[in-house]
Every structure is written in C-alpha cells, then in structure tokens.
Amino acid sequence: MSSIQRLNGTQDLTAQQWRRLAEARDRLQVFLDRRGYETVSTPALESTDLFLRKSGGELAARMYSFTDPSGRRVSLRPEFTSSVVRAYIEGSIKAQLPLRLQYCGTVFRYEPEQSGPREFWQFGAEVLGADRAAADAEAMAFAVQGLTALGVKGHRLRIGHIGVVNRMLEGLHLSERGRVFLLQSLAELRGGGAGAQLVRSRAEELGLLRGGEGGHLERLAQRLEAKDAEEMVRGFLADSVTGATGQRTADEVLVRYLRKLRETEDPARMEQAWSWPRGWWVWPARPGARCLNFGRCSVGTA
C-alpha cells in the first residue's frame, strides 16, 4: 500500500515558518487596529452560490465544492470579500457606515499543476460605505505602509484599474462571459506565452470558443431570439436532464448550456486578447518579488 502524500499546491509549515507567518499577521493586525479596522472572522465553508454570484459562475472550475450530507452545495472560500459582504448584509456584523474591517485566514483555489498554491493565507481589509476615491487612496497608502510595518524595503506601488482592461476587452466585442473569463485568467496571462497557451486550453475545455463541440446547434442558437433558443434547447435536453446533476439542478444545467451555446467567442478575437503584450495584463511583478495585495492595490519589492 502506497503512502499518502501531501496534496499538490498545499504545504506543511515548520515551527519556524509558522512563527514568521504569525509575526507578520500580528504586525499587520496591529497596524490596522490603530487605524480603525475591526478584525472579523468568517466561515471557511460557505454556500457555493455566494461565490458564483460574485464571479458570474466563471469561478466554479477553481473552487473546491461539494454537496454536504444534508444536500446543500457548499464550497471552501476562494476569497474573503464575498463572505464579509454577506455577513454585513445578513446582520452578523452590525456597525455604522463607513465600516472598516480586516481579516486573515486560508483560502482555497484550484490551480493547474505548477501554476501556483491551491491553499494560501490571505490578509486583507475592506471599506464598506465610504467615498470610493477616498477609500482607494486609503488602500494605496496602507498597502505601502503595511509593507513598511513588516520591515520590507525597496517596495514600489503599482496602481491598477480593472475597468481599463475591461473596456479594452469590450473593444474586441467579447461577451460578458468571455471578459470575465479573461479577467479571471490574469495571473496566467501575466506569464506570457506559456500562460496564454494555458488560458487557450482552458477556454477550449469550457466550450468558450466558437466552432467547438456545439456545431450546428451552436450556430442555430446564436441566430434565434433568446426565448426561441431556450425553447429549442429545452426541447432537445429536457428529457435527458432530470433532477439534480452534480452540484446543479436540471434547470441550472439547461440555462448554463444555453449560455455556452449563445456566448461563444470568435477565436480570432480571443487570440488577439490573450496575445497582448504582458504589460497590458495588470503590471506583472518581477520574478521573485514579494507582494502584498490590499484592496485594489499591489505593492511589492523591486
């Protein structure tokens, strides 16, 4: 019987590594405590729908999701923001706006082999209900000051705006599904040729490129009005998809399949997007650089 191995993308921390991690966490927590950020903790396990609503469903392939014994669809958190907002809306967090919150814990995202960690620690902060420009300026200042508090020297501030990249993608006349897919593939696209090839392969697997397995049905669905296309797909598949299928209901499966048929992309336009120079894909850090993500900012050593 073979021995059980540690899962790829996870790591065992030694006592020394844990102490260093705890020290960094404590320094950042004190730093934000003094600036009015209350520490909150949210569950590592949440309803799958919570994360799918934020991502438009494109995050589904990267989440660790399963059905619990009661039949609910749940996922290990891939990020904190959704949970923090859910806690505020639900009333678990009660305070006057603007609300400044900080958090720290492990998050889980599936990444292809050698692409990156699948379990990692995330320390971050959220500002709810504040003026957007003021909140952005605060995040930028604290991102720089936070690294200084950790004793990091020689860091530089790189300011990104995802809206700029999104507008560029809109200029290629890509669907919302195509734009979300590319925006969530930024890490791979920053890697250049190899990363672009990985994104291309994933797009093919998801049926995102026109001319794939959809064939004649795909072309027909794109020519019809939305209501007529839905009736056509339901007529073809209603009898073969019944009850719950995996983590989705039969209706969800039909809706997602229709969306794939109608929102496939011109391969030439997608090729143009992921072949952009690396610099377009949100400011890649130098190899070996250390970075701290804080709000919409990324600060790292030169």
Cβ contact 184:59 at 8 Å: yes
pLDDT tens digits, residue range 73-127? 999 999 999 999 999 999 999 888 899 999 999 999 887 766 678 999 999 999 9
Cβ contact 199:189 at 8 Å: yes
Distance CA 184, CA 203 (A): 12
Neighbours of 77 (CB within 10 A): 23
Is the per-residue pLDDT at 282 higher than 50? no
pLDDT tens digits, residue range 166-180? 777 777 777 777 777
φ/ψ (deg, to 5) at 97: -80, 150
Is the per-residue pLDDT at 235 higher than 50? yes
Cβ contact 241:253 at 8 Å: yes
Q: Quick one: average pLDDT of 11-21? A: 94
Cβ contact 221:233 at 8 Å: yes
Residue 268 or residue 125, greater confidence: 125
Q: Tell me the average pLDDT of the chain.
A: 75
pLDDT tens digits, residue range 184-196? 777 777 766 777 7
Neighbours of 126 (CB within 10 A): 19
Distance CA 125, CA 135 (A): 11
Per-residue confidence (pLDDT) for residue 176, from 0 to 100: 74
pLDDT tens digits, residue range 243-257? 544 455 666 656 565
Cβ contact 42:80 at 8 Å: yes
Residue ranges covered by each domain of the chain = 15-130, 166-206+266-280, 215-262
Cβ contact 224:232 at 8 Å: yes
Q: Quick one: average pLDDT of 269-294? A: 53
Cβ contact 72:47 at 8 Å: yes
Which H, E and C letters describe the chain, residue by residue?
CCCCCCCCCCCCCCHHHHHHHHHHHHHHHHHHHCCCCEECCCCCEEEHHHHHHHHCCCCHHHCCEEECCCCCEEEECCCCHHHHHHHHHHCCCCCCCCEEEEEEEEEECCCCCCCCCCEEEEEEEEEECCCHHHHHHHHHHHHHHHHHHCCCCCEEEEECCHHHHHHHHHCCCCCHHHHHHHHCCHHHHCCCHHHHHHHHHHHHHCCCECCCCCHHHHHHHHHCCHHHHHHHHHHHHCCCCCCEECCEEHHHHHHHHHHHHHCCECHHHHHHHHCCCHHHCCCCCCCCCCEEEECCEEEEEC
Per-residue confidence (pLDDT) for residue 249, from 0 to 100: 60
Strand ranges of the sheet holding 155-159, from the earlier edge strand across to the other edge: 155-159, 297-301, 291-294
Q: Strand pairing partners for 128?
A: 99
Residue from 75, 186, 187, 80 nearest 124 by CA: 80
* Homologous superfamily assigned to 15-130: Bira Bifunctional Protein; Domain 2 (3.30.930.10)
